[in-house]
Amino acid sequence: MMDPLTALALASNIVQFVDFTSKLISTTHSLYASTSGAKAEHLELELLANTLRSLADDAAPPSQRIKNVSSEESTFIELGDMCRRVSDELLTVLQSLRVKGSHRGWTSFIQALRSEWKQKEISALQARLDRIGDILNAKILKNLQIKVYLELKDLNKQNTRLQAARAHDIEVLASDIQAKFEEMGQEFEKIHEQTTTTESLKQLSLAAKQGRTYSAEQQILDLLHFEGMENRHANIRPAHDKTFPWIFESSTTPGSGRSGSEFVEWMVSEDNLYWISGKPGSGKSTLMKYVWNHDLTRMNLQKWAGGSQMVVCKFFFWTASRAELPKSQEGLIRSILYQMLRQFPDLIPHALPSEWHAYILRDLAPSRLRNDDLQLSELLVAFERISSQLVTKNIKFCFFIDGLDEYSGKPNEIIPLIEALGSSPNIKTCVSSRPWNEFEKAYGQSRSRKLYMEEFNRPDIERYVRDTLEKDPTYQELQEMEDTTPDLVKDVVDASSGVFLWVYLVVQSLLDGLSNEDSIANLQRRIRQLPKTLKEFFRSIFNHIDEFYMEQTAHVFLVTLRANQTLPLLSYWFIEQEDDFAIKLEVQPLSMQKTNFRLKQMRKRLNACCKGLLEVQFDEASDNENASLSSSVLFQWKVDFLHRTVRDFLIEKEMQDLLTGWAKSGFSADLMICQALLAQIKTSPQEAEYLHPDGPVEKLRSISCCHFRGIEPADEQNWTRSLTLVDALKETMQRIRAAAGLSGETPAMKFLTTCPQEKSP
């Protein structure tokens, strides 16, 4: 299909060709003075030939591979071909006239043309031009008007989704195009003819081309963007109130002998790299999110940037991601490129020239260039091209890259890439990681350009513990009633070793004790008896799980480990049901009353069987359009591990053996996920906005597809059950699409070829 902006530009160009050619063969188009020499004649004929050729090229369709064209688009293509044939004939005449350059004295092109053609041929040519004008009348242009407005509306919508810096430009473009259409409408009424002025069409053509430019920019941004790009950053808990102020302070941090302003000094200096390190669970990612969001970060970096524009970009590696990109080099570069180019779309043609020309010339339909076609080497070249433009464009960037230890490869693979990213004097990079030897060697040599969380976060831990306990009514009452109140806060802080996650778990244990009316002495004993490392703490939690919940606990953890993507909270409610529950379930939307009740139930059940090692969070990184749906709570309350260290603990062989032993015989996490998602799809709203290709129901179907692929035929019983579920899913999708008034085939369930084999953790 030809998009409306391309059609508008083509229609305008055809009219301009007809207008120019009609004037050329009329008596009104002067050629040159009769006294001019042969050389001048030759040059003027050359100029006419070039102009005619250019106009004919612009009037031709942008690609010969346009398929599924409408009758209106077919008309444009036919008219473009007619223009090209007229052009070819006149170019032949011009070539002949240039060869016969000795004939001088022509005062107009028509005189010259009559020396080559008879009047009958000239009249026939004019008739053909008139026919083109008659076909391409104002009616066709007016029909395009509505389509163009809808296209501009979609451009604005996509701009919002991609967060590109074109909102004002698209608004101005839409206003200009509307003004030109209105101007043309007034001319139609004035002269009562189905024609319009060339100047108005010329302006419309230029505006349409600008719209195509914005569309091409969006296509390339979409090419770089990938699902889950923002998930890790969005799911990191915000910093506790009034914690981390030391990162921007200049006074000496108590007990460390270090200046808290060294991070600020780095931001305003010419040094290109700063390293934030610390133990697992010490709060590195939380600090990175805090710094990234803080206004003081941008204010200080602007001092470094001086008169240049200052832009910050981020990437948070995520080893627990079910997809590969959030923990890969390719994901890092694509995310950085996307953020750079969406803020400076004028750099897109420089960064990816081949893709740019493919889109702008419409030689390649968007569906034919997938985002996995861009290789890492091509992405790096694109980054180098942008870097080379920064000085002349007066732009400076600062990258915040969190969790280098969560990169899926080896540290010695990611370290050179970080170095390459910061090689430009116009780029700074702040990275964070655990204090592994490789990172210590690469980034730990400068004392003033690194920090270790455990050396700084003691005041933050103290504030968190004190604020949390003092909000508890029972703790307040104990403080008032006890004759002597030991400082529980100090006890926790002293034992924490700077590990914030350990503190969080200890505080949860203390709150449990307070709910059981523990005395201060018993609370102190809790602190002394609690394990002092995260791994020991996790093991202790499993040792205290009620035997009644062991099977349910195993199923929930194994499903969460196995899931191709984080699953909705409601899916976990269906996981608890009988094996054939999803097959027997009717295809009928769930009421919001039942939905909210089940979500409330499931939160409590997860807490009972998983003891806080899984958490429920609202997925703020989900597509904005889906987030606005009335039933978004069905899909956007997601379940994931409390912290990466929980997942690391559970994938150890000892814990895998334990969970497998607790699970029921023949348990398949893949099959259980498929059953739960089928049930959730059956009870989803039957409305079109939930069923579009990027909609929540289609995403659940896609996840199911991957997990069907994970069930081995050798597991005969589960394989047979999976085939029944596949048939049920196909039928369900057909029924809810029909109920939503959607025609066409259900998205294919060719999971054996479209979904990669998932390996068990």
Which tens digits make up the pLDDT trace of 444-496?
998 889 999 999 999 999 999 999 999 999 988 888 887 666 788 999 999 99
Residue 178 pLDDT exceeds 70: yes
Domain C-terminal end among 425, 455, 485:
455
Please tell me what DSSP assigns to residue 693: T
Residues 183 and 280 in one domain: no
* Residue 128 resides in a domain: yes
Answer yes or no: is pLDDT of 563 > 80: yes
Of 361-375, 610-624, 714-728, which gets the smallest average pLDDT?
A: 361-375
Cβ count near 365 (within 10 Å): 15
**Has residue 675 got a pLDDT over 80?**
yes
Asked if pLDDT for residue 100 goes beyond 90, the answer is no
Instruction: Give the confidence band of 62 by pLDDT, cuts at 50, 70, 90.
Output: low
Domain shared by 572 and 720, yes or no: yes
Give me the pLDDT at residue 108, please. Answer: 64
Same domain (yes/no): 288, 322: yes
| More confidently predicted of 583 and 30 | 583
Rounded mean pLDDT, 493-512? 93
Q: Which of 421, 455, 489 is the last residue of a domain?
A: 455
> What was the pLDDT predicted at 29?
54
Is the residue at 538 inside a domain? no
In this prediction, residue 745 carries a pLDDT of 57
- Structural domain includes residue 155: yes
Neighbours of 541 (CB within 10 A): 18
Rounded mean pLDDT of 105-122? 69
In a domain, residue 289? The reply is yes
> What is the SS3 assignment for 761?
coil
pLDDT band for position 755 (50/70/90)? very low
CATH assignment at residue 288: 3.40.50.300
Q: Is residue 646's pLDDT more than 90?
A: yes
Contact 443, 275 (CB under 8 A): yes
**Residue 94 · residue 55 · CB < 8 Å:** no
Shared domain check, 191 and 207: yes
Q: What is the pLDDT of residue 167?
A: 92
Cβ neighbours of residue 614 closer than 8 Å, sequence gap 6 or more: 556, 557, 560, 606, 639, 640, 641, 642, 646
pLDDT at position 30 over 70: no
Q: Are residues 502 and 438 in the same domain?
A: no
Note whether 400 and 312 are within 8 A (CB).
yes
| Rounded Cα–Cα distance for residues 691 and 135 (Å) | 40
Provide the greatest CA pair distance for the chain: 120
Mark whether 635 and 653 lie in a shared domain.
Answer: yes
Using a 10 angstrom Cβ sphere, with 0-12 exposed, 13-18 middle and 19 or more buried, the burial of residue 694 is exposed
Name 429's bridge partners: 273, 399
601 with 746, same domain: the answer is: yes
Contact 205, 12 (CB under 8 A): yes
pLDDT at 202 over 90: no
**Which of 389, 421, 455 is a domain's end point?**
455
pLDDT of residue 615: 92
Residue 609 exposed, middle or buried by CB count within 10 Å (0-12, 13-18, 19+): buried
Q: Which two tokens stand for residue 268?
A: 């305003």
Stretch 96-121: mean pLDDT, rounded? Answer: 65
Question: Is 467 in the same domain as 404?
Answer: no
Alpha-helix runs per DSSP H in 576-651: 581-584, 592-610, 624-627, 633-636, 644-650
DSSP summary character for residue 451: E
User: Could you give the number of structural domains in the chain?
Assistant: 4
Same-domain status, 220 and 340: no
Which secondary-structure segment (H or E) carries 402?
strand 395-402
Residue range 298-344, pLDDT digits in tens: 999 999 999 999 999 999 999 988 789 999 999 999 999 999 999 99
**Mean pLDDT (whole number) for 419-442:** 95
Same domain, 264 and 349: yes
Residue 704: pLDDT band by 50, 70, 90 thresholds?
Answer: very high
Which of 237-241, 365-369, 552-556, 703-707 shows the highest mean pLDDT? 552-556
**How many angstroms separate the CA atoms of 157 and 161, rounded?**
6
Q: Are residues 538 and 613 in contact, defined by beta-carbon separation less than 8 angstroms?
A: yes
Q: What is the mean pLDDT of residues 522-540?
A: 92
Comparing 7 with 281, which gets the higher pLDDT? 281
| Residue 399 covered by a domain | yes
Residue-level pLDDT at 671: 95
Mean pLDDT, the chain, rounded, equals 84
Q: Examine the pLDDT at 427 and tell me if it is beyond 70.
A: yes
Least confident of 193-197, 516-520, 565-569: 193-197
DSSP SS3 for 30:
strand
Answer positive or negative: Cα dihedral of 243, 247, 249, 254. positive
Question: Taking a C-beta distance cutoff of 8 angstroms, is the pair 56, 17 a contact?
Answer: yes
Helix (H), strand (E) at residue 276: strand 273-277
Q: Which residue has the higher pLDDT, 371 or 431?
A: 431
The answer to whether the CB of 294 falls within 8 A of the CB of 248 is: yes
Please give the residue range of the domain that contains residue 203. 4-224
Which position has the higher pLDDT, 621 or 609?
609
Q: Are 597 and 497 within one domain?
A: no
Higher model confidence: residue 10 or residue 234?
234
**What is the predicted pLDDT for the residue at 8?**
78
Quickly state the pLDDT bin for 111 (edges 50, 70, 90).
low
Q: How confident is the model at residue 124 (pLDDT cuts 50, 70, 90)?
A: confident
**Closest CA relative to residue 471, chosen from 264, 690, 240:** 240
Read off the pLDDT of residues 243-265 as tens digits, 9 standing for 90 and up: 999 999 874 545 444 456 589 99
Contact 474, 515 (CB under 8 A): yes
Contact predicate 83/56, CB 8 Å: yes
pLDDT-wise least confident of 434-443, 444-453, 738-747: 738-747
401 or 101, which is more confident: 401
Q: Are residues 500 and 445 in the same domain?
A: no
Mean pLDDT of 595-613: 92
Look at residue 269 and tell me if it is in a domain: yes
Banded pLDDT at 506 (limits 50, 70, 90): very high
Q: Residues of the chain with pLDDT > 90: what percent?
A: 53
Q: Is residue 431 part of a domain?
A: yes
Q: Is the pLDDT confidence value at 137 over 90?
A: no
355-407 pLDDT per residue, tens: 898 887 654 444 445 555 689 999 999 999 999 998 888 999 999 999 999 99
| Maximum mean pLDDT: which of 49-53, 122-126, 230-234, 596-600 | 596-600
Residue 217 maps to a domain: yes
pLDDT at 179: 84
